[in-house]
Amino acid sequence: MNDSPAQVVTPLAGPHPAAAGGPGFVLRAQDVHKTYWMGRVRVPVLRGVSLDVQRGEFVAILGASGSGKSTLLHLLGGLDRVDRGKGRVEYRGRDLSTLSSGEQDGYRSRAVGFVFQFYHLLPELSVLENVLVAAMVRWGRWGYRSRRAELRARAGDLLGAFGLGHRLTHRPGELSGGERQRVAIARALVNGPDVLLADEPTGNLDRKTGGEILDVMLGHRAEQRGTLVMVTHDPEVAAKADRIVRLLDGKVVGAAGAA
Ligand code: ADP
Ligand code: MG
């Protein structure tokens, strides 16, 4: 049994960047190394990556397949850890590796929101339930119950804003790819994260639908003055970013301004 998850997440549930004002780094990777082991074979993937993400920024991460983009995004989102003693990831100045496990849960469910290429929706749940699952994870069973009406309204509003108001009771299998990704975006946003982390969110969609999905994310970002870190292959998507970061051979090779 979890003891009061609502309190557990509080330390990291700081003011929204739009309210906090002023410049500052939301996320910061410093000399990050990440190595995978395949049995006894060492696979170094990130070999000293540094990246600062400013509040309100849209950063695009580019690089060849296998260059470590997803790995970097997972580290930024606290889904995986950097090699011990080899660099750090900071959220609002706090080293993620120093957080308690409750704080790390809070970080993943409150501070960041994830959007993946293949949606990762639960097929047996409705559209609305898929979004509410994220709220349940954040608030825990009792916290969720006491806020259920409010959270359902928020999830419904997000889905409505993304053009899915008539689809709330449908299953993901009944939706198009673009609609599924909208559900995934609503799920990522339902807890009001500081930072949206998106891993090739348009990579599985045709050009037109991909463009619409990008517009959904950029529209939300403009409205909330939120921060967006997006892995993408698409130069047109990257051209809309404030900054492009390229990964090559486990390092950042260039950080150019864009558009
Ligand atoms: P990208 O997203 O840029 O395509 P990834 O970060 O997914 O690259 O992967 C980078 C490299 O790390 C690839 O060579 C991949 O095979 C390897 N890799 C990723 N995840 C694991 C894992 N869990 N175990 C072993 N190797 C992995
Ligand atoms: Mg990837």
Instruction: Please give the share of the chain, as a percent, with pLDDT higher than 70.
Output: 89
The alpha carbon of 2 and the centre of ligand 2 are apart by a number of angstroms equal to 33
Per-residue pLDDT reduced to its tens digit, 84-101: 999 999 999 999 999 999
Q: How far apart are CA 100 and CA 28, in angstroms?
A: 19
Closest CA to 67 of 254, 248, 253, 255: 248
Q: How far apart are CA 115 and CA 197, in angstroms?
A: 6
Best of 43, 76, 116, 251 for a ligand 1 pocket test (most atoms within 8 Å of beta carbon)? 43
Give residues whose Cβ lies within 5 Å of ion ligand 2: 70
Whether ligand 1 lies within 6 angstroms of the CB of 117 is answered as: no
Give the per-residue pLDDT at 128. Answer: 98
Identify the nearest ligand to the CA of 74 by its number. Answer: 1
Whether ligand 1 lies within 6 angstroms of the CB of 36 is answered as: yes
Handedness of CA 5, 155, 181, 68 (dihedral sign): negative
Identify the nearest ligand to the CA of 65 by its number. Answer: 1
Q: What is the pTM of this model?
A: 0.88
> Phi and psi of 130, rounded to 5°?
-60, -40
Handedness of CA 73, 78, 81, 85 (dihedral sign): positive
Of 39-48, 122-131, 155-164, 212-221, minimum mean pLDDT range? 212-221
The alpha carbon of 177 and the centre of ligand 2 are apart by a number of angstroms equal to 18
What is the domain partition of the chain in residue ranges? 46-257
Domain 46-257 class? alpha beta
| Secondary structure letter of residue 168 according to DSSP | T
Mean pLDDT of 186-204: 94
- Tallying the residues shown for the chain, one arrives at 259
Best of 70, 199, 204, 247 for a ligand 1 pocket test (most atoms within 8 Å of beta carbon)? 70
Whether ligand 1 lies within 6 angstroms of the CB of 41 is answered as: no
